[in-house]
C-alpha cells in the first residue's frame, strides 16, 4: 500500500553535523486515519467523561456532529478518510441492541470494511484491555452482537448506496484491508471503462488488421440454458462454513438496480467468498456443471475457422467460470472472454461496459459487430451493434426482461432459438 511506513520514510543522507536546524522527517500520504473514539472528546465540552453522562438523544446529536467533523477534516485535507468505529453496543443482560449509527453516518460513509474477528480473540482482547472499562459480555452474546452488526450494516449500506464488505481475520488481513482501501480510493466508473477498453485492445493486438467482423456474445442463457451466477451461489450456500446465506447478486440488483455501484457491490460479495474459500475450485465446479448448447458450439467452432471473424464473450458474470468452459470446449485460442474479475486492477462488466465494448470495436477497430443478447443488460450493446440477435431460450429458463424493450428500442433485430 502506498502509505505503508517503509515506502514513505525519507532518508536524508549527508546532513551536515554543523547545522542548527533540527532534522524533521515528514511522513505524508493520501489517507487521513482517524480513531472514532478520539473525535467525541474534541467536540464535547468536558470530553468523553461528560459525554457518557448525557441522555441518549443528546449523545445522538454529538455523534452526528462527530461524523460531520470527520467529513470536514477530510474535505479540508483533500485526503481519503479512514475511520474506525462502532455500529452498536450490546451488553450481556440487555434485551435490545443499542445502535450508535446515525443518519449523518448514513449520509457520509461511502465504503465500509467490516473486520470479522473471531469472537474468542475479541473476548481475549477485551479482557486484556486495561485502558477502557468494558461491559461484561459472553462469547455467545459477542457472536450474536457481531452477526447482528454484519446483517444490519449489509442491509443499511445496500439501501443507501454504501459499498460494504466483510473481511475475515486471516494472517494477511492487514494487507487485504490495505488493498481494499487502495481499490476503493482509485476505482471509478470512468476508470472501469478504461480498464475494459485496455483489455479489449490487448486481446486484439495479435489480430489487428486481419478481422472484419466480430461476434459479441453474452454468456448465460445464450451459450447455455444454465445461469452460472445462480449455480455459483447455490454451490457456495452448500458450503458448511459460509455464513452470509441471505445476500446474493439478485438481492443486490433488486435493491440498487443495475447501477455501477450495484455491480461493485456484487464484486465485493464474490471477494468475500474468495477470502475464505478456494474460489477457483468453485468456478471449476460451476463450469463442469454447465453444458453449452450443441448448436452454439458448432457455430463458435465454424466461425473461428474463418480468419476474418472474431468471437468475444462479454459477460457480467465471472470470467473465470467462462474461461474454464471455453477451455474445456477447446476453443480458448480463438474465443476470448471479457467478464468480471476479482483482482484489484480488473474491470467489472456492467451493461454500460458492454455497450462501450461494441462502440470501441466499431470506432477504433473498424469492425462490423454482431451482438447476441437475451436481457435488458444486453440492450445497450444490441442497440449499438450493426446487427442485433436476441436469443430466445426455453420458456422456463429464458429472461423475461426483453419481452417488451426489444419492440421499442431495437429497429434491426433477428431472433435465434437457443436449444440444447
Instruction: Give the model's pLDDT for residue 185.
Output: 85
For position 392, what pLDDT does the model report?
75
CA–CA gap between residue 125 and residue 272 (Å, rounded):
25
**β-bridge pairing 88-89 and 98-99:** antiparallel
Please give the pLDDT value at position 134: 78
Task: Tell me, yes or no, whether 219 and 351 share the same domain.
Answer: yes
Matching residue, cell 453516518 = 105
Under 8 Å between Cβ of 308 and 211:
yes
Range of the domain at 43: 5-186
Q: Does the residue 91 lie in any domain?
A: yes
Q: Do 142 and 222 fall within a single domain? A: no
Residues 221 and 173 reside in one and the same domain:
no
- Domain for residue 262, yes or no? no
| Residue 324 belongs to a domain | yes
Closest to 311 measured CA to CA, from 353, 361, 352, 380: 361
Number of domains in the chain: 2
Cell numbers for 58, please give them.
Answer: 443528546
Domain membership of residue 249 (yes or no) is: no
* CATH code assigned at 315: 3.40.50.1000
Is there a domain that residue 269 lies in?
Answer: no
CA distance 398 to 418: 9
CB 221 within 8 A of CB 376: no
Which pLDDT does position 277 carry in this prediction? Answer: 86
Q: What is the CATH number of the domain that holds 84?
A: 3.40.50.300
Q: Are 311 and 296 in contact (CB under 8 A)?
A: no
- d(CA 206, CA 316) in angstroms, rounded, equals 25
Please, are residues 33 and 82 in contact by the beta-carbon 8 Å criterion?
A: yes
pLDDT of residue 37: 85
Half-sphere exposure of 354 (CA within 13 A, CB side): 32
Q: According to the model, what pLDDT value does residue 5 have? A: 37
To which H or E segment does residue 363 belong? Answer: helix 351-363
How far apart, in whole angstroms, are the C-alpha atoms of residue 330 and residue 207? 19
Q: How, if at all, do strands 88-89 and 80-84 pair?
A: unpaired
Quick one: pLDDT at residue 22?
59
Instruction: Output the tens digit of pLDDT for each of the chain's 420 residues.
Output: 444 433 433 434 444 444 455 555 555 667 888 888 899 999 999 999 999 999 999 999 999 999 999 999 999 988 899 999 889 988 777 778 889 999 999 999 999 999 999 999 988 888 888 887 777 788 898 999 999 999 999 999 999 999 999 998 887 888 888 889 888 888 899 999 999 999 999 999 988 788 999 999 999 989 998 899 999 999 998 887 777 766 889 999 998 899 999 999 999 999 999 888 899 999 999 999 999 998 888 888 888 788 899 999 999 999 999 999 999 999 999 999 999 988 767 889 999 999 999 999 999 999 999 999 988 899 999 999 999 998 876 655 555 555 555 555 555 545 455 554
pLDDT at 8: 37
Burial class (CB in 10 A: 0-12, 13-18, 19+), 243: middle
pTM for the structure as a whole: 0.84
Q: Which of 229, 235, 262 is nearest to 157 (CA)?
A: 262
Last residue of a domain, one of 156, 186, 216: 186
Q: Can you say how many angstroms the Cα of residue 159 is from the centroid of all Cα atoms in its chain?
A: 16
- Nine cell digits for residue 221: 442463457
How many residues make up the chain in this entry? Answer: 420
Closest CA to 325 of 293, 295, 286, 278: 286
The pLDDT of residue 18 is 47
Amino acid at each position: 500500500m502506498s502509505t505503508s511506513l517503509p515506502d514513505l520514510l525519507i532518508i536524508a543522507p549527508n546532513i551536515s553535523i554543523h547545522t542548527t536546524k533540527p532534522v524533521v522527517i515528514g511522513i505524508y500520504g493520501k489517507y487521513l486515519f482517524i480513531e472514532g473514539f478520539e473525535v467525541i472528546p474534541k467536540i464535547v465540552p468536558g470530553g468523553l467523561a461528560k459525554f457518557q453522562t448525557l441522555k441518549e438523544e443528546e449523545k445522538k446529536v454529538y455523534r452526528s456532529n462527530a461524523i460531520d467533523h470527520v467529513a470536514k477534516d477530510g474535505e479540508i485535507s483533500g485526503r481519503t478518510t479512514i475511520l474506525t468505529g462502532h455500529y452498536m453496543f450490546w451488553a450481556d443482560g440487555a434485551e435490545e441492541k443499542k445502535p450508535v449509527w446515525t443518519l449523518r453516518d448514513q449520509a457520509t460513509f461511502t465504503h465500509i470494511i467490516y473486520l470479522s474477528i473471531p469472537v474468542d480473540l475479541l473476548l481475549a482482547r477485551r479482557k486484556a484491555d486495561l485502558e477502557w472499562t468494558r461491559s461484561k459480555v459472553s462469547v455467545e452474546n459477542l457472536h450474536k452482537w457481531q452477526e447482528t452488526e454484519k446483517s444490519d450494516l449489509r442491509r443499511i449500506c445496500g439501501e443507501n448506496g454504501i459499498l460494504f464488505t466483510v473481511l475475515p481475520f486471516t494472517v494477511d488481513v492487514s494487507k487485504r484491508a490495505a488493498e481494499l482501501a487502495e481499490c476503493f480510493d482509485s476505482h471509478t466508473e470512468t476508470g472501469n471503462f478504461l480498464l475494459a477498453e485496455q483489455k479489449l485492445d490487448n486481446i486484439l493486438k495479435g489480430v489487428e488488421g486481419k478481422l472484419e467482423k466480430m461476434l459479441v456474445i453474452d454468456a448465460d442463457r445464450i451459450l447455455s440454458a444454465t445461469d452460472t451466477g445462480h449455480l455459483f451461489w447455490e454451490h457456495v450456500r452448500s458450503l458448511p462454513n459460509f455464513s452470509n446465506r441471505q445476500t446474493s447478486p439478485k438481492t443486490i440488483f433488486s435493491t440498487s438496480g443495475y447501477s455501477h455501484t450495484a455491480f461493485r457491490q456484487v464484486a465485493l460479495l464474490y471477494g468475500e467468498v474468495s477470502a475464505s474459500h478456494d474460489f477457483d475450485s468453485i468456478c471449476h465446479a460451476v463450469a463442469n456443471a454447465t453444458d453449452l448448447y450443441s448448436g452454439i458450439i458448432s457455430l463458435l467452432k465454424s466461425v473461428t475457422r474463418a480468419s476474418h471473424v472474431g468471437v468475444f464473450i462479454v459477460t457480467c458474470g465471472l470470467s473465470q467460470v467462462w474461461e474454464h468452459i471455453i477451455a474445456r470446449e477447446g476453443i480458448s485460442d480463438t474465443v476470448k472472454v471479457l467478464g468480471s474479475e476479482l483482482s484489484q486492477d480488473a474491470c467489472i462488466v456492467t451493461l454500460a461496459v458492454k455497450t462501450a465494448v461494441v462502440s470501441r470495436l466499431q470506432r477504433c477497430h473498424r469492425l462490423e459487430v454482431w451482438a447476441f443478447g437475451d436481457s435488458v443488460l444486453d440492450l445497450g450493446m444490441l442497440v449499438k451493434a450493426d446487427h442485433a440477435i436476441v436469443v430466445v431460450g426455453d420458456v422456463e429458463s429464458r429472461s423475461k426482461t426483453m419481452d417488451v424493450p426489444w419492440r421499442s428500442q431495437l429497429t434491426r433485430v433477428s431472433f435465434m432459438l437457443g436449444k440444447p
